[in-house]
Structure 1
């Protein structure tokens, strides 16, 4: 038995020796000796390949054998080399500019360009190639690099020079600010199921962080009609071979060439409207099959893209598994600038080892991303062997220099010194931003609120000071769980009431437990539709006291848990003593004509009549939500569940129990809601909606503070959100009976505004919304809103209302939707 075993061991080691990779390396240049960046190198009839770096240098690891190695770059004639590899060798390649021959065609006056006939055939085959491969797996290497090309020494008081020095940039505040590499196994199944496992990750400047590179983020498919690049463009971008592309593009035939026996047509694509969400550049179409062989496109800020001035996308395809063609490489390059800062960079992905007939199970796509512990711990030897795109000299220097910085940053002395510097107390911090004391090494943070945000004024308390703070500590780095303790004190200088409250939130097994209690003065509307700052401004400057308050002494506990996937639930209990408060001051800076303060009773505004008697309640609350999706990402710190493409349904039940701890309240409330934000509507923007309904039953004893309240608005500035009204009174239409509310909002994403010169530069998005409410006392209240929103969520709306007794019929509103 020993001899066969020894033979197996011998064969294993000898095969391992002779199967060691041989490296081809070299540089790819043009006729003038200039480097051709990011040229593609691959072995014919395989899916093994690589890409040159930005200096034109490449490496390709292969086992010994005979290979037909091909070198390609957009705009250059392909070169091939038949190699019999036995040892590592250097092979420099010169690519000549491609000579695209113009076919001899007879063009009559007014006849269309020959490109249109080719594009029509490509459009006709679009769906065929979109659905050609039902599923596949591949390995993907991604490199991302961003450089700061220019920056001011200071910006809004911030010392940019110091920041640049601490982050390894040069004295001119330029250099690499992001450099990362990753390797992934990527799996796809139609129509939209993906799974990605990060095999290795390298992040310059940090030994702990994980790359932001994602193969799923690098997936673009120009066989899709629209390219939805969220964040980069408010509007979907139109593919040059979309079904309706002829309405948006002009085409120009640029010639034909032959490569590997295939005839390739080069077509220039030109937007008919330079401000439309369309690409410019070239697309390469194979004759007879009419599929995309490659593309070299760009889009500029004229098309109202965000963050960058120009974005270039280049993609090359190669044949896989017979007739199918799959991406060989994909590259994004970008430049942009704002406020004296200028940024440039690229992301490039290289694909290999495709399997277009994998055996897959749909259940494996519940997990969309997996990053396990240790993928960022691979050493330099590993990366030298696995990295398909060589590092440039600048990138090597960046890794080396920032490795030293990373080791320093993770040391206790450095963290302590950083904390010591940042934890310094200043009057500015205490007044404006609040004070934060952080211990990075112990993962602890103490926060004190700013004094400015803690001061308010209302007619119930007069000048009020509500000052608080919190303590947070990470107690489990694996599950990324935290302990948080918070508290605040509040004192009204007019009514001379002192209140104190606090709470603690912590993990308990798989649950999250929250305990809270104390005494506080709070809004009668539990949505808190008007902020203390806004109420203070209107009270002092315009003599309008919108906010209505009461005192609440309480003790509460809540348990929450993700039951499974998109199914979440929480349950809680609260005892409270509720006390009505009257106005104690009528002071204001100004007294505009016709403006008088109202009482703290919103239902009897001009009489000091208590809205409710002092009472106690003991309530049990249960709420569960489900979003019809179980998709999640796995990190070393735990799972992160992803937003669903389906609506979220919520069911809530509240039971007020009489005679428990002296409770007076006695009722039941059952409510149901369904909502979804940002539903894509293609070129026409996105839609959001919220519908809620509920009913109180067995309501033997119910108080105003137990009512169902709504997110109304009565001032110029309002708090946005899909369930907010524009013109509804804050308190008058709260109900202790049944209700139905609905909100529908559509964002046209600049579809109309982008057609208007000058205004298009503001990158505004058109908003239209409809809000509806019906209760026992308010029948079919309806609002229609029209307005605009900026990219950062600020919006201006004009609203008009119908069936609004005693309220505003129309008004302008300014708000935020974050």
Structure 2
């Protein structure tokens, strides 16, 4: 029986395809092969049906198939670098065979007037195409189409020490990921996109390689998938262009333009773009870009859906890269068909674009007319006049047109509005359905692969069923004694969980407590008003003392007017700087391995109530009130793993040039804080009706007032602090990315403060750091310049596209970045403290190495090498 199984499976597949072929024998259409002049198959060639707006692409064997109702049709065959071929056919009630041979495109030298300096003619073409890009974005009021996407991916290479394990686990790198989907997409000007998935099949994970940002984006936008488009208004700062030649396609003149980055690297394209003469629209393109060292090759073919409207009808995407020794590749195909378009009546016009650099006299005449009659007509009237327009005038008119429309938009801050839904039957379609709707025929290899994946999926389903209870899909697992050490999460209600964190994650050492261990025991309810209750016990072995704190948190209200309330209290340990500049874990290693201590802690009995309230989408009000009795702690142990005769642990009392010593053994403090945070120019995207802020579209402004109240509940503090912060990240032209943070403030009254009430700065004295690269110092002592007076700190971080090592292609292809940073502190005792540094970022996608030097009053002070977390991962807290 076992020996006959492969033959039985083959017979079954043959029987299925016989049924499919028989059912399709009664459907009309056309099929065949597309080859080059040498007989080689042209894989992924585009076939477009002019009368229906539908189409398909060939598979890797060059085979295609189109199902059409009886009638006469015009088929256009397109392939990058080859002459388009037009075939007129008549279709009856059966599949008709049509094999096509395509010839390589013969390029002509375009006849142009050469201007001074022998500028490449490509610049004239691209100036006009860039000038008209905004027009093409606004050309359609709406469209609707069907999109088919097919993807596959696999692991090409693994680190040598893992290859045997992967093979042992049965991981087959040839079938890591496959997917197919069919969606109906709709667009409404200016920014509404809807996608309804009507069928989908997938195995494995795409690992973020999906080409959706390209399919749903547009090269007419200034940026697409976070990369600068060659048609961006800023394109000449990022690219050089070269005209490769000119050819005719179906009566349209087409320019072939090389796109050459001025500085190769991430988020720029290189390759070829084809521009339609006179319309200055995209004919097709083949462009490659990089993100974190991963290459994305984009091939798009456009077709004239209407007389002056070219839209993409096929896409091909190749994604490849390496991460931590793993090499992978993903390939996607997409066809767009059945277009239904609605032209924007305001822009259904015909006009010529004048290049001022080439046609200087005519441009002067047109500009003179604008100066003589600057308000002679509205933007719509001027565009509709059919007059000749300079590039400058066209851009101005489109800006005016868009500005006029934004005035009527009730939500001008919403940049993109996306709606996404999946039909309930989308994952339940059978093979007959897919055979009918799939525009790209499967190869014999793919048929076998799909059959194998279906078998694996069924086996996995059976295995999952054996691991569940009650038929509800939840895995059953009894309590294990190891949970006490490793922690776990337990479902205790429909929307409630009990979470126990491993004490091993919170096992640390410091000289004021010795070894100490803590954990978090949390009850979380994710109801309409989420509620969370946490208890945190802590035990210090050298002090032989338990401490603990409890926290209750409640959230309620609408998404952007949400209120979060928190009540916290107990007896617990905290750093003098409540922003926790020192990782307890890293400090533990510094203590035990090198007998150095940087952590400064106190103990306090306290109660605290805090709140955060959203006033609007881009405004937050926050604050807290706290009473505390704070206790000074001294070192109680000298334990270390490697005792050094020349050093001992530093005191737990912070060293500061401004404070009065000695610290009191205890002090009582009552204080409150009130703050306002704003992002005044924040832009948003709507996703299924929910607003999502778009990063880096507005600076963050924060104003905070903190007051120490004397006499209330025996409080001994009396001070007033006003603090302001501005932080922003933005692209600095074609060469880099700027990220900065400025914090300034003043104690309006500093009559009485405990050291914990001082303004502290995020210093660093460790080789390892997880602090935010923007907002922290690299070589500053943690508490040396803490102040109860006025202060200013500034941090500027500049990421280069290319600097030193990133000039080497192998380096930037690994995703490595180079940065320089400057940090400055002005406080009463800091003496104009200044840091200058350089870093290699995103090493193995995870790490950062920094070289920094510090100065005071312009004099060199110190230097250091530091290791941290890559800035693209953000600020990671390791306690």
| Category of TM-score, reference length = shorter chain | 0.7 to 0.9
Counterpart of 1:19 in structure 2 is none
Give, in angstroms, the shift of residue 90 of structure 1: 2.6
Equivalent pairs counted in the alignment come to 760
What aligned pairs does 1:399-478 form with structure 2 within 5 A after superposition? 404=458, 413-414=467-468, 434-437=486-489, 446-472=498-524, 474-475=526-527
Maintained 8 Å contact 1:238/1:245: no
Question: 2 CA distance for matches of 1:525 and 1:78?
Answer: 69
Counterpart of 1:691 in structure 2 is 742
What aligned pairs does 1:562-581 form with structure 2 within 5 A after superposition? 562-581=614-633
Maintained 8 Å contact 2:126/2:231: no
Give, in angstroms, the shift of residue 746 of structure 1: 0.2
Counterpart of 2:124 in structure 1 is 121
Residues 202-253 of structure 1 deviation map (CA, whole Å, 9 limit, x = unaligned)? 553599999995754435655678x6755xx8xx687899865998566655
1:343 to 1:209, Cα distance in 2 relative to 1, 3 A: closer
Give, in angstroms, the shift of residue 377 of structure 1: 4.4
Q: Which is further off, 284-293 or 616-625? A: 284-293
What aligned pairs does 1:72-87 form with structure 2 within 5 A after superposition? 72-82=78-88
1:207 to 1:127, Cα distance in 2 relative to 1, 3 A: closer
Residues 492-532 of structure 1 deviation map (CA, whole Å, 9 limit, x = unaligned)? 22222311123243433443333332221111111211111
Which of 536, 546, 565 pairs up with 1:488? 536
Give, in angstroms, the shift of residue 729 of structure 1: 1.5
1:569 to 1:354, Cα distance in 2 relative to 1, 3 A: farther
1:241 to 1:788, Cα distance in 2 relative to 1, 3 A: same
Q: Any stretches of 5+ residues in structure 2 without a counterpart?
A: 1-26, 347-404, 874-879
Which of 340, 356, 381 pairs up with 1:353? 340
1:59 to 1:727, Cα distance in 2 relative to 1, 3 A: same
Maintained 8 Å contact 2:265/2:801: no
Which of 283, 305, 329 pairs up with 1:343? 329
Give, in angstroms, the shift of residue 712 of structure 1: 0.7
Counterpart of 1:293 in structure 2 is 283
Maintained 8 Å contact 2:490/2:498: yes
Maintained 8 Å contact 1:735/1:775: yes
What aligned pairs does 1:162-241 form with structure 2 within 5 A after superposition? 172-181=172-181, 183=183, 185=185, 187=187, 194-200=191-197, 202-204=199-201, 215-218=212-215, 230=226
Which of 67, 75, 87 pairs up with 1:69? 75
Question: 1 CA distance for matches of 2:463 and 2:720?
Answer: 56
Q: 3-state DSSP class of the match of 1:683? A: coil
Matched, 1:708 2:708: no
TM-score, normalised on structure 1? 0.78
Q: Which is further off, 493-502 or 238-247? A: 238-247
Question: 2 CA distance for matches of 1:564 and 1:461?
Answer: 45
Give, in angstroms, the shift of residue 469 of structure 1: 4.0
Question: 2 CA distance for matches of 1:464 and 1:421?
Answer: 34
Question: 1 CA distance for matches of 2:122 and 2:641?
Answer: 70
Give, in angstroms, the shift of residue 372 of structure 1: 5.6
Question: 1 CA distance for matches of 2:208 and 2:811?
Answer: 38
Residues 664-716 of structure 1 deviation map (CA, whole Å, 9 limit, x = unaligned)? 33433332211113x12343121101112223334443221122221111222
Give, in angstroms, the shift of residue 65 of structure 1: 6.3
Give, in angstroms, the shift of residue 326 of structure 1: 3.2
What aligned pairs does 1:252-263 form with structure 2 within 5 A after superposition? 252-253=244-245, 257-263=247-253
Which of 725, 728, 734 pairs up with 2:777? 725
Q: 3-state DSSP class of the match of 1:120? A: helix
Which of 12, 28, 34 pairs up with 1:29? 34
TM-score, normalised on structure 2? 0.74
Counterpart of 2:133 in structure 1 is 130
1:755 to 1:461, Cα distance in 2 relative to 1, 3 A: same
Which of 302, 315, 336 pairs up with 1:317? 302
Question: 1 CA distance for matches of 2:237 and 2:667?
Answer: 67
Maintained 8 Å contact 2:177/2:205: no
Give, in angstroms, the shift of residue 447 of structure 1: 4.4
Residues 239-280 of structure 1 deviation map (CA, whole Å, 9 limit, x = unaligned)? 899865998566655xx6532122445566788998898766
Residues 406-438 of structure 1 deviation map (CA, whole Å, 9 limit, x = unaligned)? 8669869548999768888586x877xx43345
What aligned pairs does 1:517-536 form with structure 2 within 5 A after superposition? 517-536=569-588
Which of 838, 847, 865 pairs up with 1:812? 865
Counterpart of 2:105 in structure 1 is 100
1:348 to 1:316, Cα distance in 2 relative to 1, 3 A: same
Larger helix fraction of residues:
2
Counterpart of 2:597 in structure 1 is 545
Q: 3-state DSSP class of the match of 1:645? A: coil
Which of 308, 319, 336 pairs up with 1:334? 319
Question: 2 CA distance for matches of 1:740 and 1:531?
Answer: 25
Maintained 8 Å contact 2:238/2:261: no
Question: 2 CA distance for matches of 1:283 and 1:47?
Answer: 23
1:771 to 1:23, Cα distance in 2 relative to 1, 3 A: farther
Residues 168-223 of structure 1 deviation map (CA, whole Å, 9 limit, x = unaligned)? xxx7343152525353545476xxx7332222265535999999957544356556
1:91 to 1:765, Cα distance in 2 relative to 1, 3 A: same
1:319 to 1:157, Cα distance in 2 relative to 1, 3 A: closer
1:445 to 1:27, Cα distance in 2 relative to 1, 3 A: farther
Maintained 8 Å contact 1:416/1:439: no
Question: 1 CA distance for matches of 2:858 and 2:636?
Answer: 29
The CA RMSD over aligned residues, in Å, is: 4.7
Q: 3-state DSSP class of the match of 2:191? A: strand
Residues 339-391 of structure 1 deviation map (CA, whole Å, 9 limit, x = unaligned)? 35543322535263343417976446727344466546445388777765566
Q: Which is further off, 444-453 or 682-691? A: 444-453
Give, in angstroms, the shift of residue 726 of structure 1: 1.1
Maintained 8 Å contact 1:601/1:610: no
Counterpart of 1:801 in structure 2 is 854
Q: Which is further off, 207-216 or 728-737? A: 207-216
Maintained 8 Å contact 2:656/2:786: no
Maintained 8 Å contact 2:121/2:243: no
1:544 to 1:416, Cα distance in 2 relative to 1, 3 A: farther
Maintained 8 Å contact 1:513/1:560: yes
Question: 2 CA distance for matches of 1:784 and 1:486?
Answer: 42
Maintained 8 Å contact 1:200/1:376: no
Question: 1 CA distance for matches of 2:824 and 2:164?
Answer: 46
Residues 573-603 of structure 1 deviation map (CA, whole Å, 9 limit, x = unaligned)? 3332221111222333445465343322213
Question: 1 CA distance for matches of 2:106 and 2:409?
Answer: 48
Q: 3-state DSSP class of the match of 2:806? A: helix
